[in-house]
Structure 1
Amino acid sequence: TGFPVVTLSRTPDGALSLAQTRFFSDPSVVDPDDSRWDLPLTAQVGHGSGGGGGPELHRVGIWTASDLPARDAAFEVHAPTSVGSKFPADSPWIKLNGLQQGFYIDNYDADGWLRLQSPCQQLVLSEVDRMCLLDNAFVLTRAGKLDLANALEFSRALANDPSYLIWKSLSTHLTFYGSLIHQTPTFPKFQAYVRRFYGPQLARLGWFTQDTDQESTAYFRSEVIRMLGTAKDPAVLADAVIHFQTLVTTPEASRVTSDLRAVIFRVVATHLQGQVYDQLRTLYESSDLAELKNDCLGGMGAVQTKWNDTLEWALSGKVRSQDIQYAFAGVVRSGIEGADFTWAFIQANWDRLNDKYIPNKVGSLVCLAIGRFQTEDKAVEVEAFLGDKKTTAYKRRLDTTLEGIRIKAACFRRDATHLDQWLTAQTL
């Protein structure tokens, strides 16, 4: 919030135009100031047939906006035609902010986003530029400045991208929208899309370490399995159960690395529920390895019938103070139902938690629980409960979390139907 968005568009006659405006994560906020910036304009420009040749870096110079006319009704400041004309309009594609040298978000009209798919698919643009484009697309969508369909279509161009960072970012953004629709009839469509989208990556990476693995491959593999587990991929669920039993009973015989342990515990506990709870709790209590204990907590929190038992057991002293958030996070990650339960538990045990933990720790538990909410009613409920409580130690974090709830509420109202329509179209 507070920095500029620069949008590159093509006019009906094919000329290029630029406009800048102030970015707000909450689209309902109106800029109270006449914000405008002097911006260094650079661009990666495609050339050759289809734009598949190596990009050329164009340094346009400084766009001085301070002496331009007042903003239009959309609070945008438009560059004079002399600025837009410095970009090659006949180029098959243009990526603003080449090499990410300027502190601004680059945006495009629908045609511009479409044109940028090809250099991303062909890996013509660098990993950094591809990742920034992906992040920009979804950040702008959440702020109401880009249609969700445009962001999703652009993300499909990265379906074969070899970069872990790209897929980590993809997972973050898709998980955000999956969480929004988790309790709607659209969610099974979302799961089906994730299975199709991530399946080829698991086929390439496999479950086990390979000679071709790079430093980030273990994280890449874990992320892909996590997403497919959330999407209830049948093969992933079946394999995860087998690996789970080996990890719990004869860990020395397991071929999967410890990087996959947390995701396996979580996927299997979500799938089998109470059938594995006692195994996870016993493993926690018998182990001295902190990382393994935290992995167990993540799995235990997935078992809905044991939520209260898990939190009470954790508060009894079985879980160290510095690790208590893992027990709460395990429940919250189960969706809105888990967040509702955790928030109710925190309210009912408010004095107990504040007596046991320092204010910052209590604040982290509060924000962890309410951060999953996505309605105005829930934001109001939280504010009402905390109105007379001492929250000074974590006020800024709390304010940010409440703002996030309201942003998600706006996203759901604006995009839930569009997401359903887009997902439906993918199956036709």
Structure 2
Amino acid sequence: YVEDPLANAQVLPDEYRVPIFQAVLKTGSASERTKLLDVYRKVVTNVDQKQVFQAIGFSPDMPLKKESLQWAISGEVKIQDFYIVMGSVSASSKAGLDMMWEFLKSDFDAIHGMVKNASPSIMDSVIGAATSGYCSAEKADEIEKFFEANNKKLSSNKRTISQVLEDIRTNAKFLGRALETDLVKPKFWDELRASSV
């Protein structure tokens, strides 16, 4: 498929492409990432391009994740799609989520400049990609402080920011309650295994 995605489209059905691309990148290197970028440049439909975007951030190599984020804002990826690359990086791992959050903070002006005349939903998607995986009150406070400092530029995104912060704090409370139960004790799991034998 990778050598000629147009001629070999039937070799790798649509529904398998994203998870296969992600699995290959998780165990691959820069070479596999380059091949996936070549696929992006060869395919003609937006659906096929989005499949690449959804996987490109899954390399475990942090410099390659960073390259993917920089590529997302390079101008090669359409404005209406660049956040998908960011979501790929953040969904790939905790380290990817942290990198995406730091990238949004450090490159906020460039990112905002790209989308300031576009639909607010695009910036909403960027905000979600950078924050939706967190579940600690401390991180919610950090995120809130950042968005408050950039409030004037994000007036159209207030609802999304509010929802993200509420979700993070709700998840943090749930996690806190879960950590106080027997679920975190090895004895619970040992007894459960023993009872199922």
Distance in 2, Cα, partners of 1:312 & 1:372: 21
Q: Which structure has the bigger radius of gyration? A: 1
| C-alpha distance after superposition, 1:125-168 (max 9, x if no partner) | xxxxxxxxxxxxxxxxxxxxxxxxxxxxxxxxxxxxxxxxxxxx
Aligned to 1:403: 166
Tell whether 2:176 aligns with 1:413.
yes
Counterpart Cα distance in 2 of 1:267 and 1:419: 30
Displacement of 1:254 in angstroms is 5.1
1:385 corresponds to which of 146, 161, 165: 146
Shift of 1:275: 4.5
Within 1, Cα distance between the matches of 2:9 and 2:81? 28
Letter in 2 for 1:383: E
Q: Distance in 1 between matches of 2:86 and 2:21?
A: 16
More displaced stretch, 410-419 vs 335-344 = 410-419
Unaligned runs of 5+ residues in structure 2 are: none
Q: Retained in 2: the 8 A contact 1:346–1:353?
A: yes
Alignment check: 8 A CA contact 2:131 2:164 kept: yes
Q: Distance in 2 between matches of 1:409 and 1:321?
A: 33
Aligned partners of 1:336 and 1:265: how far apart in 2? 19
TM-score (norm 1): 0.40
Query: Matches of residues 15-414 of structure 1 in structure 2 within 5 Å?
Result: 247-249=1-3, 251=5, 252=8, 255-303=11-59, 304-305=61-62, 306-358=64-116, 359-389=120-150, 390=152, 391-414=154-177
Contact 1:335 1:372 in 2 (8 A): no
Q: Residues 136 and 169 of structure 2 are in contact (CA less than 8 Å); yes or no, is this contact kept in structure 1?
A: yes
Distance 1:311 1:369 in 2: 11
Decide whether aligned partners of structure 1 residues 334 and 424 sit closer, same or farther in structure 2, where only a CA change above 3 A counts.
farther
Once the two structures are TM-superposed, the CA of residue 368 in structure 1 deviates from its matched residue by 2.0
Which secondary structure state, in structure 1, belongs to the residue aligned with residue 149 of structure 2?
coil
Does the 8 Å CA contact 2:100/2:129 hold for their aligned counterparts? no
Question: CA-to-partner distance for each residue in 1:2-53, whole Å, 9 max, x for gaps?
Answer: xxxxxxxxxxxxxxxxxxxxxxxxxxxxxxxxxxxxxxxxxxxxxxxxxxxx
Confirm or deny: 8 A CA contact 1:270 1:299 kept in the other structure: no
More helix by share: 2
* Structure of greater relative contact order (alpha carbons < 8 Å, 6+ residues apart): 2
Deviation at 1:347, TM superposition (A): 0.9
Paired positions, count = 182
Aligned residue identity for 2:86: F
Asked if the contact 2:43/2:49 (under 8 Å) is kept, the reply is yes
How big is the shift at 1:424? 4.5
Change (3 A) 1:356 1:424: farther
Q: TM-score, normalised by structure 2?
A: 0.82
Residue identity opposite 1:334 in structure 2 = S
Quote the Cα distance in structure 2 between the aligned partners of 1:427 and 1:339.
33
Rate the CA distance shift 1:253–1:394 in 2: closer, same or farther, 3 A.
closer
Higher share of residues assigned strand: 1
Is the 2:115–2:122 contact (alpha carbons within 8 Å) kept by the matching residues of 1?
A: yes
Q: 1:396-421: CA deviations, max 9, x gaps?
A: 12111111111111122111454445
Q: Aligned-pair RMSD on alpha carbons?
A: 2.1
C-alpha change, 1:403 and 1:424, in structure 2 (3 Å) is farther
Secondary structure of residue in 2 paired with 1:322: coil
- Pair 1:321–1:415, CA change in 2 (3 A): same
SS at match of 1:316: coil
